[in-house]
Structure 1
Amino acid sequence: MTMELRGIGREDWDAWYGTVIRAFGGVPEEPAEEARWRSLVEFGRGIAAVDDAEIVGTAATFSFRMTVPGGALVPAGGLTLVSVAATHRRRGVLRSMMRRQLDEVRAAGEPLAVLTASEPAIYGRFGYGVATQELRATLDTDRVRLTTPPGTDEVSVRYADPAKSLTRCEELYARLVPTRPGMIERGSQEWAENGIADPVSERKGSSPLLCVLAERDGELVGYARYSVTPGWDDAGPKGTVNLRDLEALDPPAAGALWRFLAGIDLTSRIHTGARPLDDPWQYLVSDPRRCDRRLRDGLYLRPVDVGAALAARTYAREVDVVLDVTDAFCPQNTGRWRLAGDGTGARCERTGAPADLALSVRELGSAYLGGEPLHALAAAGRVRELRAGALEAASAAFTAERAPWLPHGF
């Protein structure tokens, strides 16, 4: 095979995106949905694998800034729209694109690479580890009652047009981004509008997207976006509230929004999208067993520059540890790194000192945002303690105050 990798220009869009669609099942998208993706893709960061003038592989990178423990926004390359034509599997196409993409991320000065996986089994061999978990649930609102926090009655909830309220909602979202690891800054109008995209083909019998605003004395303190799927049986209405987004600045605002959602007429359940593991509704419900809680992997992360990545975040307690890191796909990361830091900052430099812990870059990616404990990875044999006591100290230092969470896919 004479395959080459090259960047893509706007003139390549139809063939390039057509390759993506074919790889993901071949069902044509609505023109508006294709136009949405075209507005988001950064053409200077797209990759095409070409064989005899035919595009047989695709990948692209988004230029993100992501919150890490301590609140810093760190540049991260977001891998997306990865596909390989079925005619060209097992020929090294994916590996070649991943090699180029990570080299470009490093050259761009982005110490982290992130992705969401359509097939999780693919990405571990390229050094990506599961860094966040998603909580999904279905609340039986016929049987579950909410006890809302003090101050909830001082918050009013009203309907708003999703598009007309977008600017106010994005301003509130931006205030929340630094408060939770894994959240991504939405720095453009295209990404803001992506949050209210509502293709008819994806509604599956539900209503158009709805939005409510939570306000206190005229100030926006929260919002929720959702749809409703009507349903009936012989006993009466059994509609479902499909929650897409809920953001709130404080407990009363969150309580007011959840109370509103639980009380929508002709519905008997709330189905949540991906929520953080410590989402507060879990502590408001009368019966958590009737909330059908489920976990799913969310964001996958790998350090591209180990030293810069570990120095970019803070640590829950003082830490001074030497990590022996292996990285078969990006060997420039392989070696011993001394990490010294606390709640105010950190430094991470190469060292010749004896190692305290040994792990691969994949495990480092899983632990990086504070959601996957190093001691749990060690219990699975993925991290080795080389100095007694080092594991307990490092695991405690890597934890985050709030559960890391990716609020939307990409």
Structure 2
Amino acid sequence: MTTELRVLDPAEWDNWYAVLELAFGGVPESDEERKLWQELTEHERSIGAWDGDRCVGTAGAFSFRLSVPGGNVVPAAGVTMVSVAGTHRRRGILTSMMRRQLEDVRSWGEPLAILTASEPVIYGRFGYGAATYAVHTTIDTTRVRLTMPEGTDEVSLRVTTPTEALDATEAVYARLVTGRPGMLERRPGWERVAVLDPPADREGASPRMCVLAERDGEVVGYAHYAIKPDWSFAGSDGSVSVHQLAGLDPVAEAALWRFLCSVDLTARVKVRSRPVDDAWQHLVTDVRRCEPTLREILFVRLVDVGAALAARTYQTPVDVVFEVEDAFCPWNEGRWRLTGDASGASCVRTGEPADLSLSVRELGAAYLGGVSLLSLAAAGRVREVRAGALAAASVAFGSPVAPWLPHSF
């Protein structure tokens, strides 16, 4: 490979970002979007591949903090803006950028790298495992009704704009982060992503609106949504697209769902991404009419096995020795002894015999508690060496609530 990898110079951002835009279809973003992403780019954590004076590859890493089982919030590199120019494929550029990036993440002292993938088949070979899933659905509100929990009528609702309600909605979001694994603390500037609404992306829908759920004068939930009017010969056939929905308690969330499912002149509610254990599935009278679809959303990579496994807690007491394979980050290879429970954990190198054998990819998939080690073993991706170790570790790694990533990056 004749290309050079180097840290992104802010003066080269436009050139660098143009390579990324072309890789994702070449449709130019709005000035508002482009300006926001330029401001959010952490240049010292971004790299470019250069062939002479041409940028031919891009990769960045946001400095995030990710919630993990037990409520801790752990430093994590949010891998983003990855692309290779079509003229420079099959030259090892992506592999070299991924290796350089993980070495950098290790040097920054961050135990995790995370990403959302436009093409998920790519990242497994670099040690990333699919760790959170989301449900996409379309609720047919002409046929489906909702059953409300007690107290729903005590929640009042108020429609406003996402920008006007930003402080209140961000306060709600911040209170929810530690309660569900896979959520990201909002770093300064990221609150603007939550209200980004370029007209070109609306596809005939209204500007985004916000409905606030309030109880005793306090904001206890919110939803960002848009309405797309439509008509058929039989009458109104509009839809509601839900972009965000969050509540501090189940009753607040139920009140928001009832509002969204009863917007005038609409026949369906489209929801792009919700937790797999979300309560709406039990509020609706007929989940079949909602046609839920499952897809992976967040990939996790353990950059420092010992520090990552020690950073979370475990549902039940665990004492297990992992034989870890990690050819891409060889500092992780070997045996690690994990001991811990609901109050904390330790993970150190050991010479003791292994109980379970797996690659770092499987550890990443199981890390947030949404993918069981048992299911990975059934697919041949985890090998039990000591009888009984697999079931015990699988239970310990679980989470009482499903991990979920509320927004991409």
TM range (shorter): over 0.9
Looking at structure 2, the residues matched to 39 and 217 of structure 1 have their Cα atoms a distance apart, in angstroms, of 38
SS in 2 for 1:268: strand
Which residue number in structure 1 is paired with residue 237 of structure 2?
A: 238
Q: Once the 2 structures are TM-superposed, how far is the Cα of residue 36 of structure 1 from its aligned partner?
A: 1.3
1:138 aligns with 2:126: no
Looking at structure 1, the residues matched to 2 and 387 of structure 2 have their Cα atoms a distance apart, in angstroms, of 52
Which residue number in structure 1 is paired with residue 372 of structure 2?
A: 373
Looking at structure 2, the residues matched to 255 and 148 of structure 1 have their Cα atoms a distance apart, in angstroms, of 6
Report 1:3-42 matches (<5 A): 3-42=3-42
TM-score for the superposition, normalised by structure 1: 0.99
Q: Once the 2 structures are TM-superposed, how far is the Cα of residue 388 of structure 1 from its aligned partner?
A: 0.4
SS in 1 for 2:273: coil
Looking at structure 1, the residues matched to 274 and 40 of structure 2 have their Cα atoms a distance apart, in angstroms, of 24
Which residue number in structure 1 is paired with residue 276 of structure 2?
A: 277
Q: Once the 2 structures are TM-superposed, how far is the Cα of residue 370 of structure 1 from its aligned partner?
A: 0.4
What amino acid sits opposite 1:14 in the alignment?
Answer: D
Which residue number in structure 2 is paired with residue 299 of structure 1?
A: 298
Which residue number in structure 2 is paired with residue 182 of structure 1?
A: 182
SS in 1 for 2:76: strand
Looking at structure 2, the residues matched to 30 and 220 of structure 1 have their Cα atoms a distance apart, in angstroms, of 32
Which residue number in structure 2 is paired with residue 268 of structure 1?
A: 267
What amino acid sits opposite 1:117 in the alignment?
Answer: A
Which residue number in structure 1 is paired with residue 246 of structure 2?
A: 247
Q: Once the 2 structures are TM-superposed, how far is the Cα of residue 381 of structure 1 from its aligned partner?
A: 0.3
SS in 1 for 2:175: helix
SS in 2 for 1:181: coil
1:344 aligns with 2:343: yes
Q: Once the 2 structures are TM-superposed, how far is the Cα of residue 9 of structure 1 from its aligned partner?
A: 2.0
Out of 30-39 and 381-390, give the one that drifted further: 30-39
Checking the alignment, whether the CA contact within 8 Å between 2:161 and 2:208 is kept in structure 1 is no
Q: Once the 2 structures are TM-superposed, how far is the Cα of residue 244 of structure 1 from its aligned partner?
A: 0.5
Which residue number in structure 1 is paired with residue 157 of structure 2?
A: 157
Looking at structure 2, the residues matched to 187 and 77 of structure 1 have their Cα atoms a distance apart, in angstroms, of 13
Looking at structure 2, the residues matched to 67 and 135 of structure 1 have their Cα atoms a distance apart, in angstroms, of 20
Looking at structure 1, the residues matched to 348 and 90 of structure 2 have their Cα atoms a distance apart, in angstroms, of 38
SS in 2 for 1:137: strand
Deviation digits for residues 344-367 of structure 1, max 9, x if unmatched? Answer: 000000000000000000000000
Q: Once the 2 structures are TM-superposed, how far is the Cα of residue 58 of structure 1 from its aligned partner?
A: 0.3
Out of 157-166 and 379-388, give the one that drifted further: 157-166
SS in 1 for 2:195: coil
Checking the alignment, whether the CA contact within 8 Å between 2:127 and 2:301 is kept in structure 1 is yes
SS in 1 for 2:222: strand
Looking at structure 2, the residues matched to 283 and 29 of structure 1 have their Cα atoms a distance apart, in angstroms, of 39
Looking at structure 2, the residues matched to 348 and 242 of structure 1 have their Cα atoms a distance apart, in angstroms, of 44
TM-score for the superposition, normalised by structure 2: 0.99
Looking at structure 1, the residues matched to 102 and 322 of structure 2 have their Cα atoms a distance apart, in angstroms, of 22
Q: Once the 2 structures are TM-superposed, how far is the Cα of residue 230 of structure 1 from its aligned partner?
A: 1.0
Deviation digits for residues 266-309 of structure 1, max 9, x if unmatched? Answer: 00110002110011111111011101100011000010000000
SS in 1 for 2:365: helix
Deviation digits for residues 63-82 of structure 1, max 9, x if unmatched? Answer: 00000000000000010000
Looking at structure 1, the residues matched to 334 and 239 of structure 2 have their Cα atoms a distance apart, in angstroms, of 52
The runs of at least 4 aligned residues of structure 1 exceeding 6 Å deviation read none
Checking the alignment, whether the CA contact within 8 Å between 2:373 and 2:382 is kept in structure 1 is yes
Report 1:161-240 matches (<5 A): 161-188=161-188, 190-240=189-239
What amino acid sits opposite 2:32 in the alignment?
Answer: A
What amino acid sits opposite 2:43 in the alignment?
Answer: F
What amino acid sits opposite 1:398 in the alignment?
Answer: F
SS in 2 for 1:121: helix
Checking the alignment, whether the CA contact within 8 Å between 2:220 and 2:249 is kept in structure 1 is yes
Looking at structure 2, the residues matched to 291 and 340 of structure 1 have their Cα atoms a distance apart, in angstroms, of 42
What amino acid sits opposite 2:247 in the alignment?
Answer: A
Checking the alignment, whether the CA contact within 8 Å between 2:63 and 2:76 is kept in structure 1 is yes
Which residue number in structure 2 is paired with residue 323 of structure 1?
A: 322
Percentage of pairs with the same residue: 61
SS in 1 for 2:163: coil
Q: Once the 2 structures are TM-superposed, how far is the Cα of residue 2 of structure 1 from its aligned partner?
A: 2.1
Which residue number in structure 1 is paired with residue 357 of structure 2?
A: 358
1:82 aligns with 2:82: yes
Can you give the 5+ residue segments of structure 1 that lack an aligned partner in the other structure?
none
Deviation digits for residues 76-104 of structure 1, max 9, x if unmatched? Answer: 00100000000100001001110111111
Which residue number in structure 2 is paired with residue 113 of structure 1?
A: 113
Looking at structure 2, the residues matched to 140 and 196 of structure 1 have their Cα atoms a distance apart, in angstroms, of 27
What amino acid sits opposite 2:216 in the alignment?
Answer: D
Q: Once the 2 structures are TM-superposed, how far is the Cα of residue 229 of structure 1 from its aligned partner?
A: 1.1
Checking the alignment, whether the CA contact within 8 Å between 2:69 and 2:180 is kept in structure 1 is yes
Deviation digits for residues 188-230 of structure 1, max 9, x if unmatched? Answer: 1x10010110011111111111101000011000000011111
Looking at structure 1, the residues matched to 317 and 219 of structure 2 have their Cα atoms a distance apart, in angstroms, of 38
Looking at structure 2, the residues matched to 126 and 48 of structure 1 have their Cα atoms a distance apart, in angstroms, of 18
Looking at structure 2, the residues matched to 275 and 57 of structure 1 have their Cα atoms a distance apart, in angstroms, of 33
Looking at structure 2, the residues matched to 269 and 355 of structure 1 have their Cα atoms a distance apart, in angstroms, of 52
Q: How many residues are treated as equivalent by the alignment? A: 409
SS in 2 for 1:132: strand
- When the two chains are superposed, the root-mean-square deviation of aligned CA atoms in Å is 0.7
Looking at structure 2, the residues matched to 49 and 342 of structure 1 have their Cα atoms a distance apart, in angstroms, of 44
